[in-house]
Amino acid sequence: MCPITYAGAVQLDEFRWMLPKEGGMRVPGVLFADRPLLEKMLSDRTPQQVRNAAHLPGILEASIAMPDAHWGYGLPVGGVVATDPEEGVISPGAVGYDIGCGVRLLRSRLTRAELAPLVERLADALFRNVPCGVGSSGAVRVAPRELERVLRDGAGWAVQRGFGTAGDLEHCEEGGVLEGADPDAVSQAAHQRGRGQLGTLGSGNHFLEVQEVEQVYDERAAAALGIARGEVTVMIHCGSRGLGHQVCTDHVRDVSRKLAGWGIVLPDRQLACAPLASPEAQAYVGAMRAAANFAWANRQCIADGVRRAFSETLGRGPADLGLSLVYDVAHNIAKFEHHETSAGRVRCLVHRKGATRAFPAGHPDVPAAYRAVGQPVLVPGDMGRYSYVLIGSQGAMRYAFGSTCHGAGRQMSRTQAVRDTRGRDLVQELRELGVVVRYEGRDTLREETSEAYKDVADVVRVVQGADLARPVARLKPFLVVKG
């Protein structure tokens, strides 16, 4: 029986498609998708970017795209690439500009019914306590020497300053800090851009949502994560702000200049990379880790602003409200990890750009509190529908270097979204869906309208079918703060 081929992709099983090696590709490409999601990928040239990444020196096994993948800078958003530490490279474009961007989820003992009379006041308090918008600043200011400590210590710096508790760190990926960060590899321009931006949400697709646990799919896992149907959660999505963007800009420029000298030929210069043994790679690794630490500190400070807003509105302390951290996970990052490959168990550098780590039950890097069920995976949808909490599965280790999706994934450009929603009152449309919104920026809501995104339920169905992660709960937003 001949394998099914569609637009050059060969179907491996119900949820995986292979892009065969051709030309200078060192490995095949693998797309996690069903037929409808595959067609969305084909419509924005995502497969071509997957093929391009397969040319990277030292790439292992496959160039991978998650079901939420869409066209990005160099590597598609939703891309995963692992490289050999001896013969491989690191590519700033395969990490992304918003280094360390990720999602944090807080649980509470509150119900939506309790908050219903106060939701407008709470929205105002959150908008006031968590600055947002392009260039937003002012939440937490630090001196230059203090910023170096932020870049080294990540979320731990924020806890030491009183923004949260030590227990928060136990529920962060990597404890909220990547060791080996090098603040000296972060340019003064990046320092300047980040100095006033701690505790700020930023703009674009970054958000803060107050949600209700609408449905629970796995009672045992939900109990381990401390979430229950009907209770209120808060989801925070943001990253390293201007600092991380400048780090990527600086190092893309630096490595791009050296490609010819290293004898590296790529089909797309946006994938510019450096051999891992080179000084340029080491400088980027140190700067990337520092930016990721800034992102963890930023989300830690934002969570403190969330707790203050709830306390101001309800007149009760965070402990009484049960506002505690479920998990914080990054989805724009590169880390050295150990994985099984066709050549055996190897240490490799895993680039995840718009992709989330998804380690299964029993993995030693899963926090002790969750090790029996697996690592939490936080998957935002869009502000008009729902988001998901998942846990990592064995298939993620088998097929995707311990990775899964990071969200719904765009299916419409920001320009098209603004154009298509002209004349509509999106604030009123959201209110009719039961969602109160606060935002900065003239076109923010239009750029982030629900129809600009894939239905995250479709993405999660593929993730579950491919055994990358398992659904635990669905969260429905009723208060949204956007930049």
- Which of 71, 73, 61 shows the shortest CA–CA distance to 40? 71
Q: pLDDT-derived band of residue 159, with 50, 70 and 90 as boundaries?
A: very high
Specify whether the CB–CB gap between 252 and 244 falls below 8 A. Answer: no
461 pLDDT more than 70 = yes
Specify whether 70 is catalytic: no
3 pLDDT more than 80 = no
Catalytic, out of 55, 171, 363, 406 = 406
What pLDDT, in 10s, does the model give residues 465-483? 999 999 999 999 999 999 7
For residues 252 and 293, what is the distance between their CA atoms, to the nearest angstrom?
A: 20
133 pLDDT more than 90 = no
- Which of 259, 241, 236, 143 shows the shortest CA–CA distance to 190? 241
Q: pLDDT-derived band of residue 442, with 50, 70 and 90 as boundaries?
A: confident
For residues 163 and 291, what is the distance between their CA atoms, to the nearest angstrom?
A: 19
Q: What is the pLDDT of residue 2?
A: 66
Structure tokens at 132: 């947002």
Place of tokens 């982030």: 448
Q: What is the pLDDT of residue 1?
A: 54
Measured torsion, CA atoms of residues 449, 455, 456, 460, in degrees rounded to the nearest 10: -170
Q: What is the pLDDT of residue 285?
A: 98
Counting residues of the chain whose pLDDT is more than 90, the rounded percentage is 93
Query: Domain map of the chain by residue range?
Result: 5-482
What pLDDT, in 10s, does the model give residues 383-394? 999 999 999 999
Counting residues of the chain whose pLDDT is more than 70, the rounded percentage is 100
Structure tokens at 306: 């969330």
Structure tokens at 441: 């920026």
Q: pLDDT-derived band of residue 361, with 50, 70 and 90 as boundaries?
A: very high
Q: pLDDT-derived band of residue 141, with 50, 70 and 90 as boundaries?
A: confident
Q: Tell me the CATH class for 5-482.
A: alpha beta
What pLDDT, in 10s, does the model give residues 323-340? 999 999 999 999 999 999
For residues 232 and 263, what is the distance between their CA atoms, to the nearest angstrom?
A: 54
What is the SS3 assignment for 300? helix
- Which of 480, 459, 344 shows the shortest CA–CA distance to 410? 459
Residues listed for the chain: 483
For residues 225 and 388, what is the distance between their CA atoms, to the nearest angstrom?
A: 13
Strands (E), 7-141: 9-13, 16-19, 29-32, 63-70, 77-83, 89-90, 102-111
What pLDDT, in 10s, does the model give residues 277-311? 999 999 999 999 999 999 999 999 999 999 999 99
What is the SS3 assignment for 382? coil
Compute how many other C-beta atoms are within 10 angstroms of the C-beta atom of residue 269: 11
